[in-house]
Amino acid sequence: MAQTLTETAGSLEAMTPVPYAVTAKRQDTYDTWTLELEPQNGAPIVPGPGQFNMLYAFGVGEVPISNAGNFDTDERLVHTIRAVGAVTKALCAAEVGTVIGVRGPFGNTWPIEDAKGKDVVIVAGGIGLPPLRPAIYHVLKNRKDYGRFVLLYGARTPSDMVFLDEVKSWQCNYDVDLDLIVDAGDTDWKGKVGLVTKLIPPAEFDADDARGFIVGPEIMMKFVAQELINRDLPAESIYVSLERTMRCGVGLCGHCQVGPTIVCRDGAVYTWAEVENLLAVKEL
């Protein structure tokens, strides 16, 4: 053969789902469930904050789902799944004891360690909270290593908020500036109503020494990033998580490209500076 080929990690191992049993299941909203998973054999995968696994429903298919666990202390995988298609519906129908396939972790991580000593601003929209949960826990568990911690969470209605009790408990138990907002509430809703961007102008953080982390629908991330920039937070200090269709998760199938970047390989975490221009092009 003509050239010397160097071997890197074999893809077949990474393409093989490993059986994990559902050890706990909780319904969060009318279409969202959280599953806790433990491997049938061996030690569990330990994804970093921001990484994702490909979850496999036998006979149906696979989807990429972000790690939603508390990676500092949890012994099991936690994934929050919204039932929108065949695979996610099958995963959400799994009961305690059902075995699903897991492979991963893939993708890069939130640079939450780098943010030590700085103010941290986390903005989550809708089901964007679970992918940020590992990073949130990291800050809470190492609270004194960080400056101010601003956590802003917006959703369509109060019943669309995931782990709301847990979120509220953070405000009670930790030093965190929490602000919640819904697109429309009811008269029992004690919080604000409006767009999540409304929460940014009054948020207290030092733009000269802060990091922003945003997860939500793409359009929400755009508007929130813009609001943070209006507060003088540089685009290089704002991190977002992109979502694209995936098949392999290992950078070989081409599906998750956005312009020059391959999301499963180079992302899903990017700085706003890296992706702002890409996301501005329709249907890129």
Partner 1 sequence: MRAVFAPEALEAIVEVLRRRDWRVVAPTVRDKAIIYDEITSAAELPVGWKDVQAPGSYKLERRDDEARFGYAVGPQSWKRELLAPSVRLLQIERTNGSFKAAKDAAETKRTAFFGVRPCEVAAIKIQDRVLIGGPYADEDYLARRKSSFVIAVNCGEPAANCFCASMGTGPKAEDGYDLVLTEILDGSHRFLAEAGTDEGAELLAELPQQPAEEADVTAAEKVTDVARERMGITLDRSDVHDLLLANLEHERYDDVAKRCLACTNCTLACPTCFCTTVDDANSLSGEATERIRLWDSCFTLQYSEMHGGGTRRETKSRYRQWLTHKLSTWNDQFDTLGCVGCGRCITWCPVGIDIREEVGAIRATQEAKS
Partner 2 sequence: MKTLDAVIAESPVFFGLTQEQLEFIVGCAQNVHFEEGQRIVKAGDSADTFYLIRMGEVALDLDVPNKKPVRIDTVEAGQVVGWSWLIPPYEWKYDVTATELVRAVAFDGACLRGKCDTDTALGYELLSRFALILVGRLQATRFRLLDIYGTDTH
CB of 64 to partner 2, least distance (A): 16
CB 181, CB 196: distance < 8 Å: yes
Residue 61 interacts with partner 2 (CB under 8 A): yes or no: no
Closest CA to 276 of 246, 244, 236: 236
Which of 160, 227, 266, 274: binder of partner 2 (CB under 8 A)?
A: 160
Residue 27 interacts with partner 2 (CB under 8 A): yes or no: no
What residues from 116 to 135 belong to the interface with partner 2 (CB under 8 A)? 125-127
CB of 266 to partner 2, least distance (A): 25
Q: Which residues bind partner 1 (CB under 8 A)?
A: 1-3, 5-12, 14-19, 21, 40, 58-62, 84-85, 88, 97-99, 101, 243-245, 247-248, 250-255, 257, 259-262, 265, 281-284
C-alpha–C-alpha distance, residues 99 and 183, integer Å: 37
Residue 230 interacts with partner 2 (CB under 8 A): yes or no: no
List strand residue ranges (DSSP E) for 16-148, in order.
18-29, 32-39, 52-57, 61-66, 77-82, 99-106, 119-125
Q: Give the binding range for partner 2 (CB under 8 A) out of 11-19, 205-213, 215-223, 229-237.
A: 215-223
- What the block records as the tokens of 154 is 């917006």
- Residues 164-203, one symbol each (x = binds partner 2 by CB under 8 A, - = not), give ------------------xxxxxxxxxxxxxx--x---x-
CB 134, CB 50: distance < 8 Å: yes
CB of 194 to partner 2, least distance (A): 6
CB 123, CB 67: distance < 8 Å: no
- What the block records as the tokens of 249 is 């998760």
What does 247 bind: partner 2, partner 1, none (CB cut-off 5 to 8 Å by kind)?
A: partner 1
What does 58 bind: partner 2, partner 1, none (CB cut-off 5 to 8 Å by kind)?
A: partner 1
C-alpha–C-alpha distance, residues 140 and 120, integer Å: 11
CB of 172 to partner 1, least distance (A): 35
DSSP string, 65-98: EE--S-TTT-SSEEEEEE--SHHHHHHHT--TT-
Give the residue with the Cβ less far from partner 2, 77 or 91.
Answer: 91
Give the residue with the Cβ less far from partner 1, 19 or 147.
Answer: 19
C-alpha–C-alpha distance, residues 70 and 76, integer Å: 9
What does 148 bind: partner 2, partner 1, none (CB cut-off 5 to 8 Å by kind)?
A: none
Question: Exposed/middle/buried for 237, CB within 10 Å: 0-12, 13-18, 19+?
Answer: buried
